[in-house]
Amino acid sequence: MPYLIDGHNVIGQMREISLSDPDDEDRLVALLAAWCNRRGVSATVYFDRGAPGSGGAALRGRLTVRFVRPPRTADVAIEDHLRRMGRGASDWTVVSSDHDVRQAARRAGARSMDSAAFAARLRAPSAGPAPEKPENPSQEEVSAWLKEFRRGRS
């Protein structure tokens, strides 16, 4: 299930990132891109007032990053995105602490999640299965490989 994320709302819930940090958006984008890739999901994150010269959309793997230029806000951009999706919005989860944005998500048929809950999910380790530990080779396998390597030198 893809996500629409109100970026500054999530940053406000992160212990690791501060809204006063000049690189707060970049730090969240790095976390989100890694999280999306680990989970195999896609997301679009919206930020208010991006850095000078920013605008439009940038792709980071499965993550689309959008900076909204004033006078529009990220909240309005998320609501507009939901409207454009129509019935397809029901496949999405909207992440925001803003009551109006979460209401717009429910009206559009999308799921909504509070930014604090999402920040906790973002910090959680991957829930996938633990990687299998390879078996140690038997003495016979080691001997066979050593013979093979020695033969290659000749």
52-68: average pLDDT:
78
The confidence score (pLDDT) of residue 1 equals 87
Specify the pTM: 0.76
Torsion angles phi and psi, residue 127, rounded to 5: -90, 10
State pLDDT tens for residues 72-88: 999 999 999 999 999 99
Question: Number of C-alpha atoms within 13 angstroms, CB side, residue 86?
Answer: 0
- The alpha carbon of 79 is separated from its chain's Cα centroid by a whole number of angstroms, namely 19
Q: Where are the domains of the chain?
A: 3-153
The confidence score (pLDDT) of residue 96 equals 97
- Fold that domain 3-153 belongs to in CATH: Rossmann fold (3.40.50)
